[in-house]
Amino acid sequence: MKADTFVQNAWYVAGMSQEFKVNDLRGMVITKKPIVIWRGKDGKVVAFDDRCVHKRMPLSCGKILDNGAVECAYHGFAYDTSGKCVSIPSQMDLAIPSRAKLKPYPVVEQDGVVWLWMGSEEQMSRVHPPRTPEFVDPQYESFTCDPIDVPCNYRLLIENLLDITHFYPLHDGNIGDLANSKIPIEFIEQEIDGNPSMKTVRHVENYRHPPFLRDWFGYEMVDREHTHCMVSPGITRVQLRCAPPGKLGTSEERGYILHHSHTPVDERRHFWRWTATVRKGQPSLDPKKSTLDRMKEMFPAVVDQDRWALERQQKMFEFPEDGYDEVHLRSDRSILTVRKILEKLETA
């Protein structure tokens, strides 16, 4: 297993729509590429190479002028929202060189998410950014955490999310227990919007919910369906449906959808955002709070445990292999499939 690569030809989440305010310049690095990104006055998000064509000053350190152009903080080159240089203050008497334009990055804003294409132009039409319709469905309410800076290869997070057996012991006593780790798994490979994906389904009956889940849904004994799906290199979707025994599919069913986006900064760092989406007003154990209220309060503790493990796992990749040989469980089939998918996409 390699933990020092990433898929270049992919759509990655630059942020949620609400993170991009009009004329608010932001700098970020995705797949080792420096990016300046902002929402123009017309509401459209645009993204370019963050290096000013003059002397590489990050444009994200500049400002937006009244005419909507970005002014570099160093010598004042200004660029419009097509990336073209429209002003060079120190030599207004000369024509602006035609080469003075920024490299654009394709942006798609859909379902409340801003996606960037980080690959080659020829490959772009092959795949579409995955849909996340629940984010904008009025029947649902959502919460997205602040971006989490994780010092590990993004693949370790994807594997963590598809790895069912870490609920014990890593999450023992909150969202997990040993019984959860033993639930049989169904593996489904499918293509979603041109993205080869891997999904696991785990169905269990008469299962005693661990404390956090009992709190979030107000049910102790449940029938439950839990799915985990790496939809694309940029996002993984988790869905949980539960109800008192025999009641799945009835009005008593409750659940959540959790999207996790994983955006590589470089080989050893990524940004993680999780979005919890729940039917509006779905009750929790606490009569004054909804499921979403309780998830907002409690889920960060679970995420901290994962982050704690991921960080340590990454450090062990720094040592020479020296005969090290990973042992796989039956449940690791999903992870091994994901590795194949990502490796194939890396060389596509």
Q: Which residues form the interface with ligand FES (CB under 6 A)?
A: 52, 54-55, 57, 72, 74-77
Instruction: Give the CA dihedral 338, 344, 346, 348, nearest 10 degrees.
Output: -150
2 binds, among Fe ion, ligand FES, none (CB under 5 to 8 A by kind): none
Structure tokens at 79: 């660029």
55 binds, among ligand FES, Fe ion, none (CB under 5 to 8 A by kind): ligand FES
| Residues in CB range of 145: below 8 A, 6 or more apart | 273, 274, 275, 300, 303
Dist CA 96 CA 88 (whole Å): 7
C-beta closer to ligand FES: residue 91 or 250: 91
DSSP codes, 116-168: EE-S-HHHHTT--PPP-GGGG-TTEEEEEPPPEEESS-HHHHHHHHH-GGGHH
C-beta closer to Fe ion: residue 285 or 309: 309
Contact 38, 46 (CB under 8 A): yes
Residue 277: phi, psi to the nearest 5? -125, 130
Regarding 159 and contact with Fe ion (CB under 5 A), the answer is: no
54 binds, among Fe ion, ligand FES, none (CB under 5 to 8 A by kind): ligand FES
C-beta closer to ligand FES: residue 76 or 300: 76
- Label residue 323 exposed, middle or buried (CB < 10 Å: 0-12, 13-18, 19+): exposed
- For 35-74, what is the HEC assignment? EEEEECCCCCEEEEECECCCCCCEHHHCEECCCCCEECCC
Contact 105, 47 (CB under 8 A): yes
C-beta closer to ligand FES: residue 36 or 230: 36
306 binds, among ligand FES, Fe ion, none (CB under 5 to 8 A by kind): Fe ion
C-beta closer to Fe ion: residue 102 or 156: 156
68 binds, among Fe ion, ligand FES, none (CB under 5 to 8 A by kind): none
CB of 75 to ligand FES, least distance (A): 3
Structure tokens at 331: 């449940």
Sole residue written with tokens 């709190």: 215
CB of 188 to Fe ion, least distance (A): 21
CB of 73 to ligand FES, least distance (A): 7
DSSP codes, 209-262: PPHHHHHHHS-SEEEEEEEEEEEETTEEEEEEEEESTT-TTSTT-EEEEEEEEE
Q: Which of residues 306-325 bind Fe ion (CB under 5 A)?
A: 306
Dist CA 107 CA 313 (whole Å): 33
Dist CA 33 CA 231 (whole Å): 23
Q: Provide the residue type at 122 as one letter.
A: E
CB of 72 to ligand FES, least distance (A): 3
CB of 170 to Fe ion, least distance (A): 6
CB of 54 to ligand FES, least distance (A): 3
CB of 42 to ligand FES, least distance (A): 24
C-beta closer to ligand FES: residue 62 or 255: 62
CB of 32 to ligand FES, least distance (A): 21
C-beta closer to Fe ion: residue 88 or 161: 161
C-beta closer to ligand FES: residue 98 or 125: 98
By CB under 5 A, the count of residues binding Fe ion is 1
CB of 278 to Fe ion, least distance (A): 19
C-beta closer to Fe ion: residue 78 or 152: 152
Q: Which residue is nearest to Fe ion (CB)?
A: 306
Q: How far is CA 130 from the centre of its chain?
A: 11
103 binds, among Fe ion, ligand FES, none (CB under 5 to 8 A by kind): none
Interface residue list for Fe ion (CB under 5 A)? 306
